[in-house]
């Protein structure tokens, strides 16, 4: 019998999680919540998802000629678990916070998972499939960490397991806006995060406690992917080949190379298209194979992160962990990936 | 019995035409020609296409561990028709021209179709499904016009048929590079085409002879889509509603609206993702519904063109026309579109 | 005796007008109004401008260690004329409108000129040095039209005088943000103005009544300059040479050419640097000489507009017109240009 | 008596060095070498620089109506020192290398200084005013290090002197093209340097021998400035205040702050305009004051580098060192800066 999943917030992440869940055989989407009758709502209907709305939102959908199946509360009651992909408070102070929604889910006695836009303290439990799947088994609430933190966990955790990590210095070169976003800049500037550490280091520690990591960040005028440049001091000696071997065996990490013409994030994203991925998404972290350099006890590497999609398989795994559908994280990852067509290539 | 199609040049257009042909029931891909063992070649093999190479290119593919099925000439001989997607001469003068290849195809007695990078005079016959399908019936060679010209044909030809066109002024705001291209700029500038007319107007006349069209062009720092702003003097009076009605009935033209949040090409391309289109391609021309304005006898409108993919269904139709598989252009378009999942929405 | 000029709003335009006025011998800056102690305020002091603030703003400047000379009202009272460069209402509804300030200036019995962000109806009088200088002689209030409208006036008015204009179709390819603005996008998209005419055409008519002009517009991801592509139907026959000759004699119009390597707005702005212009500003409209094409009775041309600075000399001329310092517009232009180092080259 | 300076190559750096030298009282420009009669050549004449050309280049200048003063060789012979700003070999293999020119200068017995595009081994002596002025006193040839290395020397050397540096990890976020360059991309991608160390770390060691520095680099779609994020392990304990104090006393280092609205390189460059700098150049390294963070024995900071101009004052100092005009580097810096208007603010 399939776990009944409700999606609260059908935007960048919500719509992707809905599609990924739909491809699994142990869970299914019973409905998605939208607050306004946008074209995204129309596409949800087109895909066959039932639309649920806030109590006072029905009329707007009726006016737009979109059929709704009920209220958000009705959906939550019918669900086993809720994937919260709501955007949080807006800059003008309107909107509903994760805290508000957590209260709703708790009152209804429903499990829920949140996204990395929320803080760790909301649930006290942060989730990454590779780093700490087991911690979430049977729990009520978890937070799937952000796209960047997911990227850090995917490559750092296996190193930590294999060689031990003395410390990490990570510089995050962040995309300033998503591909569909035409409002946000900069058009021609680099914007530094002046706070050190940037939030990324501490956030990685929420899934990898005790990891000695420092992070700095900048925003740059691109929409495709984030890039990380990392300097890692290993505890045990390792060669470049040793490191590559560890990542070859790690889920959702792929190699690209400038020698194959993959010189930038532009060519990385073309791979997602050539692989036939839905929405041209790249769920894996792309590590430049010829950018992996071991110098003494230091490992240097560069990776690219598709901010719109890398957390999607983690959401599926997190549902499985919270609902106790699978005890073994590696098995859940394998099952998720097979259903989603994520294969090493 | 399926028409046997060879693809000469498996790049931006070639790989998309291969996929589109593969979805039709009256034609099939028997192989694709690649000159070098790039990652694109690897993806071709992954998709199940047989690789053919230039005479002296076999070793490089062997070295890269890629299986080849034979030489380009062998493929051409086995084909009924060749879709030429070769890039033409490079800036340094190397490479093979369309003229060179046409000679090869002619000597082998094979039909062939070329892309819009070639000039009209190469084949003396330019093709657009909406504007002049019938002209290519049973012919030996044709040229599918460029992405921009295809966009002009799709929306102007139906107007011409219905209302008559006195004259057209078109300004083409062109993307400067494709999404996977990280070499080409500008990063922060607008570059005008100083020649008037730009090549787009005369090229549109190659499919719509006698159309009185003038065109100007600029290049801008974006990779997603071209945009056209058009001023059309109609011969017969028409309202905005009349114009919308004509395009509603026209193949491969869709409407978007700023009222639905589609404020730029960024949101147009998100639609392609939400539609589940392979490679996130948008084969249709997107016309802003709230950007269609009739003022007196003048019609003003704005449309966006996905430069990587709008010509792909025309390539399929062109194969059908040259091979006499279907006499009626509208029927071919409907057949192509159904197989490719191109539906009005 | 110099006319005493107050600048209300020391931002992009205000700071440039202050510098330009300071270079004239018949007017001088007696102070500038700033609402907050930003780094722009600090640079104003550094340049020797006296700072005036809103009534309740003094403390903030004191806290920032910036000396103020008095309140805005005190400055206005001491001035002969006020150049209003205030930004108008903000999106959140706060801020002061041009109407509010006009009331203040009127009560104080002071002349004032506004910028193109205000509507024509605020003053009922729009100003461009080339098109309608004489209309403002001795008047109380005028509005210097926007950067784009200024660009249209500079090149269209001389054509209108010399050959007569039957009609104009203008497509404005607009920069989406200014160079110092790192908040605004799009990073990678083209955004059309769906309303036709865009506001530019009607605005040009505010200085050139009766001109039959239609305009469309898009926004593109660049910060340097706007670009206009224009199609003009002339009443009297003219050759390309005739047209060039007219503009050679027109103030604040310069020629650039792709043959000299000026292929885009990037190289146009480099010229401003090479000319040693302060802030690397280009006060002139740059017309591509090899982009001027006459075809039959139609003239096609492309021009680039430096949005931050082209209106600055017009502000100086407008002060002169309102204050009756010079009856002859051409003489005022020549005087302004000589002082600012604007010479044909 | 002024030292006679010849500029070989009047491009981005050459034209700026010419202007900077012209402002000094102990040196003067006696001519500049251009190979082709571009608009830059025209601007050189406009500024009053005499043009010298390659032996076979005179006719092209005559055709373009530009007066030349002689051949490059004649200029070199008349000079005391040559500032080589030639671009080196082009991608197609044409052009003249630094080695070629060094041979010419040596045969003529002339001192010469080169730019950072050349390798250290060309002269065996790399120059930065702050780090190693004295090393070049009276020498024949030196190389002024690149814009990025100059930035590293300006802030790292004073730290090294004051606290000692255990090691440095530097990530360079590089602008992909200069403002006037409209050919180069990427428009929308991040391109990593896969080689570790990138060339920047070793290059810094050419001026600061023994410095333990590692560097990684990416290219991003912006034209304004480079940005560096640095993690420095200090030998002696230091507070943030200690570090700021050191840089306050260091030449050509300025502070900016997000609290003053300087959130990105866009606002940094606006400062150069507000300072009235010619060509809107910023010769100083801009360090974010609120981005300076000391955590334990680690110092983290972020700085921005104006790639077109930061090496210009170093060129002036280097002339002075090679020609023995001033023994004390600090005095030379002060003299250069005063003449160029580079003041702490």
Q: Which residue of A has its CA nearest to C185?
A: A185
- Please tell me the predicted confidence (pLDDT) of residue C269: 98
Other CB atoms within 10 Å distance of the CB of residue B249: 11
Cα(C143)–Cα(C118) distance, integer angstroms:
7
Interface residues of D toward A, Cβ cutoff 8 Å, are 169, 171, 173, 175, 186, 188-192, 194-197, 214, 216, 218-225, 227, 229, 231, 258, 263-267, 288, 290-291, 293, 295, 298, 300, 302, 304
- Please choose, from the candidates B253, B156, B292, B147, the residue with its C-alpha nearest in 3D space to the C-alpha of residue B212: B156
- Please tell me the predicted confidence (pLDDT) of residue D155: 98
Q: Which of A64, A280, A306 to mutate to test the interface with B (most CBs of B within 10 A)?
A: A280
In this predicted structure, the answer to whether residue A39 has a pLDDT above a threshold of 90 is no
List the catalytic residues of C.
Answer: 147
The total number of residues written for chain C in this structure: 345
DSSP D3: E
Cα(A229)–Cα(A231) distance, integer angstroms:
7
Q: Which residue of C has its CA nearest to B226?
A: C190
Residues in B touching D181 (Cβ below 8 Å) = 185-187
Nearest CB to C179 within list D38, D180, D269:
D269
- Smallest CA–CA distance, residue D265 to chain B, in Å, is 14
A275, B181: Cβ pair inside 8 Å?
no
- Decide if D235 contacts D164 (C-beta within 8 A): yes
For the beta sheet containing A126-127, the strands, ordered from the edge strand earlier in sequence to the opposite edge, are A70-71, A51-53, A27-33, A3-8, A81-84, A111-114, A141-144, A126-127
The values of phi and psi at residue A286, to 5°, are -100, 115
- Please tell me the predicted confidence (pLDDT) of residue C160: 97
What DSSP string runs through D245-265?
HHHHTSTTEEEE-GGGT--SH
Nearest CB to B173 within list C169, C173, C288:
C173
- Decide if C123 contacts C135 (C-beta within 8 A): no
* Residues ≥6 apart with Cβ < 8 Å to D177: B185, B186, B187, D183, D184, D185, D223
Q: Are strands A165-175 and A226-234 parallel, antiparallel or unpaired?
A: antiparallel
- Please tell me the predicted confidence (pLDDT) of residue B90: 74
A280, B273: Cβ pair inside 8 Å?
yes
* Residues ≥6 apart with Cβ < 8 Å to D303: D151, D155, D227, D228, D230, D285, D286, D287, D288
- Which ipTM score applies to this complex? 0.96
- Smallest CA–CA distance, residue B183 to chain A, in Å, is 9
D187, B221: Cβ pair inside 8 Å?
yes
Residues in C touching B293 (Cβ below 8 Å) = 195-196
What would the pLDDT profile of D197-244 be if each residue is shown by its tens digit?
999 999 999 999 999 999 999 999 999 999 999 999 999 999 999 999
- Smallest CA–CA distance, residue C6 to chain D, in Å, is 19
Q: Give the DSSP H/E element, type plus range, for residue B300.
A: strand B298-305
Q: What is the mean pLDDT of chain C?
A: 96
- Please choose, from the candidates B193, B158, B195, B142, the residue with its C-alpha nearest in 3D space to the C-alpha of residue B172: B193
In this predicted structure, the answer to whether residue A93 has a pLDDT above a threshold of 80 is no
Q: Which residue of A has its CA nearest to B39?
A: A260
- Decide if A316 contacts A21 (C-beta within 8 A): yes
Nearest CB to C177 within list A176, A177, A187:
A187
- Smallest CA–CA distance, residue B255 to chain D, in Å, is 27
User: What is the reported pTM?
Assistant: 0.96
- Smallest CA–CA distance, residue A299 to chain D, in Å, is 10
- Please choose, from the candidates D113, D110, D125, D26, the residue with its C-alpha nearest in 3D space to the C-alpha of residue D73: D110
DSSP D184: B
A266, B188: Cβ pair inside 8 Å?
no
- In terms of Cβ atoms closer than 10 Å to its own Cβ (0-12, 13-18, 19+), residue C23 is middle
What would the pLDDT profile of D39-76 be if each residue is shown by its tens digit?
889 999 999 999 999 878 899 999 999 999 999 999 99
Q: Return the structure tokens found at A67.
A: 């059929």
- Please tell me the predicted confidence (pLDDT) of residue D267: 97
A186, C183: Cβ pair inside 8 Å?
yes
Query: Which chains, if any, share at least 3 CB pairs under 8 A with chain B?
Result: A, C, D
Residues in A touching C186 (Cβ below 8 Å) = 177, 181-185, 187
- Decide if D207 contacts D142 (C-beta within 8 A): no
Place C188 in a pLDDT band, splitting at 50, 70 and 90: very high
Q: Which residue of B has its CA nearest to A43?
A: B274
Place A344 in a pLDDT band, splitting at 50, 70 and 90: confident
DSSP H helical ranges for chain D:
12-22, 39-47, 58-63, 72-78, 98-108, 120-123, 129-132, 147-163, 200-207, 240-248, 265-274, 312-322, 329-340
Q: Return the structure tokens found at A300.
A: 């240097």
C171, B222: Cβ pair inside 8 Å?
no
- Please choose, from the candidates C66, C104, C62, the residue with its C-alpha nearest in 3D space to the C-alpha of residue C86: C104
In this predicted structure, the answer to whether residue A256 has a pLDDT above a threshold of 80 is yes
* Residues ≥6 apart with Cβ < 8 Å to B100: none
Q: Give the DSSP H/E element, type plus range, for residue A15.
A: helix A12-22
Q: What is the mean pLDDT of chain A?
A: 96
Report residues of chain B scoring pLDDT below 50: none
In this predicted structure, the answer to whether residue A295 has a pLDDT above a threshold of 90 is yes
D221, B187: Cβ pair inside 8 Å?
yes
Place D88 in a pLDDT band, splitting at 50, 70 and 90: confident
Q: Which residue of D has its CA nearest to A220?
A: D220
Interface residues of A toward C, Cβ cutoff 8 Å, are 92, 176-177, 179, 181-189, 191, 221-223
Query: Is the C-alpha dihedral spanning C126, C130, C132, C137 positive or negative?
Result: positive
Cα(D88)–Cα(C157) distance, integer angstroms:
48
Q: Which of B176, B178, B185, B187 to mutate to test the interface with D (most CBs of D within 10 A)?
A: B187
- Smallest CA–CA distance, residue D330 to chain C, in Å, is 26
What would the pLDDT profile of C228-278 be if each residue is shown by its tens digit?
999 999 999 999 999 999 999 999 999 999 998 999 999 999 999 999 999
- Please tell me the predicted confidence (pLDDT) of residue C344: 80
Q: Which residue of C has its CA nearest to A191?
A: C182
B264, C190: Cβ pair inside 8 Å?
yes
- 3-class secondary-structure state, position B8: strand
Size of interface A-C (CB pairs under 8 A): 56
Residues in D touching B179 (Cβ below 8 Å) = 188
A179, B261: Cβ pair inside 8 Å?
no
- Domains annotated for chain D, with CATH where assigned, are 3-145+311-340 (3.40.50.720), 147-305 (3.30.360.10)
Cα(B193)–Cα(C263) distance, integer angstroms:
9
Cα(B204)–Cα(D121) distance, integer angstroms:
58
In this predicted structure, the answer to whether residue D94 has a pLDDT above a threshold of 80 is no
For the beta sheet containing C27-33, the strands, ordered from the edge strand earlier in sequence to the opposite edge, are C70-71, C51-53, C27-33, C3-8, C81-84, C111-114, C141-144, C126-127
DSSP H helical ranges for chain B:
12-22, 39-46, 58-63, 72-78, 98-108, 120-123, 129-132, 147-163, 200-207, 240-248, 265-274, 312-322, 329-340
Q: Which residue of A has its CA nearest to B259?
A: A38
In this predicted structure, the answer to whether residue A105 has a pLDDT above a threshold of 90 is yes
- 3-class secondary-structure state, position D83: strand
- Please choose, from the candidates A162, A321, A340, A126, the residue with its C-alpha nearest in 3D space to the C-alpha of residue A250: A162
Place C55 in a pLDDT band, splitting at 50, 70 and 90: confident
The mean per-residue pLDDT over the stretch A298-305 comes to 98
Nearest CB to A183 within list C181, C185, C223:
C185
- Decide if A11 contacts A40 (C-beta within 8 A): yes
Nearest CB to A229 within list D216, D263, D264:
D216
Cα(C312)–Cα(C336) distance, integer angstroms:
10
- Please tell me the predicted confidence (pLDDT) of residue B157: 98
Residues in A touching C179 (Cβ below 8 Å) = 188
Q: Are strands B141-144 and B126-127 parallel, antiparallel or unpaired?
A: parallel
Nearest CB to C223 within list B188, B218, B264:
B188
- In terms of Cβ atoms closer than 10 Å to its own Cβ (0-12, 13-18, 19+), residue C2 is middle
Cα(C126)–Cα(C130) distance, integer angstroms:
12
- Decide if A21 contacts A29 (C-beta within 8 A): yes
For the beta sheet containing D141-144, the strands, ordered from the edge strand earlier in sequence to the opposite edge, are D70-71, D51-53, D27-33, D3-8, D81-84, D111-114, D141-144, D126-127
In this predicted structure, the answer to whether residue C184 has a pLDDT above a threshold of 90 is yes
Nearest CB to A222 within list D221, D229, D258:
D221
Look-up: residue for tokens 């990395």?
A116
DSSP H helical ranges for chain C:
12-22, 39-47, 58-63, 72-78, 98-108, 120-123, 129-132, 147-163, 200-205, 240-248, 265-274, 312-322, 329-340
- Smallest CA–CA distance, residue D96 to chain B, in Å, is 20
C302, B216: Cβ pair inside 8 Å?
yes
- Please choose, from the candidates C210, C214, C133, C211, the residue with its C-alpha nearest in 3D space to the C-alpha of residue C172: C214
Size of interface B-C (CB pairs under 8 A): 132
Place C94 in a pLDDT band, splitting at 50, 70 and 90: confident
Query: Which chains, if any, share at least 3 CB pairs under 8 A with chain C?
Result: A, B, D
What's the angle, vertex CA A188, arms to CA A183 and CA A189, rounded to 5? 105
In this predicted structure, the answer to whether residue D8 has a pLDDT above a threshold of 90 is yes
DSSP D319: H
- Decide if C234 contacts C212 (C-beta within 8 A): no
- Please tell me the predicted confidence (pLDDT) of residue A23: 98
Q: Which residue of C has its CA nearest to A192?
A: C182
The mean per-residue pLDDT over the stretch C11-29 comes to 98
């Amino acid at each position: 019998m399939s776990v009944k999943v409700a999606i609260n917030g059908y935007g960048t992440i919500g719509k992707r999680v809905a599609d990924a869940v739909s491809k699994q055989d142990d869970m299914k989407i019973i409905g998605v919540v939208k607050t306004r009758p946008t074209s995204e709502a129309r596409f949800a209907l087109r895909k066959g998802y039932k639309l649920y709305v806030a109590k006072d939102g029905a009329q707007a959908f009726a006016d737009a000629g979109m059929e709704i199946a009920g209220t958000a509360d009705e959906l939550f009651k019918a669900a086993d678990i809720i994937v919260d992909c709501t955007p949080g408070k807006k800059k003008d102070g309107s909107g509903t916070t994760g805290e508000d929604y957590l209260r709703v889910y708790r009152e209804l006695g429903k499990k829920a998972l949140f996204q990395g836009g929320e803080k760790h303290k909301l649930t006290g439990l942060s989730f990454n499939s590779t780093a700490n799947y087991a911690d979430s088994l049977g729990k009520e609430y978890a937070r799937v960490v952000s796209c960047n933190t997911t990227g850090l966990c995917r490559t750092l955790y296996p190193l930590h397991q294999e060689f031990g990590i003395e410390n990490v210095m990570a510089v995050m070169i962040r995309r300033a806006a998503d591909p569909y976003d035409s409002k946000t800049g900069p058009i021609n500037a680099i914007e530094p995060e002046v706070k050190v550490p940037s939030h990324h280091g501490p956030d990685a520690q929420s899934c990898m406690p005790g990891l000695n990591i420092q992070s700095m960040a900048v925003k740059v005028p691109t929409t495709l992917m984030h890039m990380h440049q990392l300097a890692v001091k290993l505890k045990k000696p390792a060669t470049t080949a040793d490191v590559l071997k560890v990542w070859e065996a790690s889920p959702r990490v792929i190699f690209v190379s400038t020698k194959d013409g993959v010189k930038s994030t532009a060519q990385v994203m073309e791979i997602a298209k050539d692989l036939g991925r839905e929405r041209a998404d790249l769920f894996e972290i792309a590590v430049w194979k010829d950018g992996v350099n071991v110098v003494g006890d230091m490992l240097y590497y560069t990776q690219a992160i598709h901010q719109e999609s890398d957390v999607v398989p983690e959401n599926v795994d997190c549902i499985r962990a919270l609902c106790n559908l699978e005890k073994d994280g590696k098995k859940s990852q394998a099952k998720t990936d097979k259903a989603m067509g994520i294969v090493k290539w």
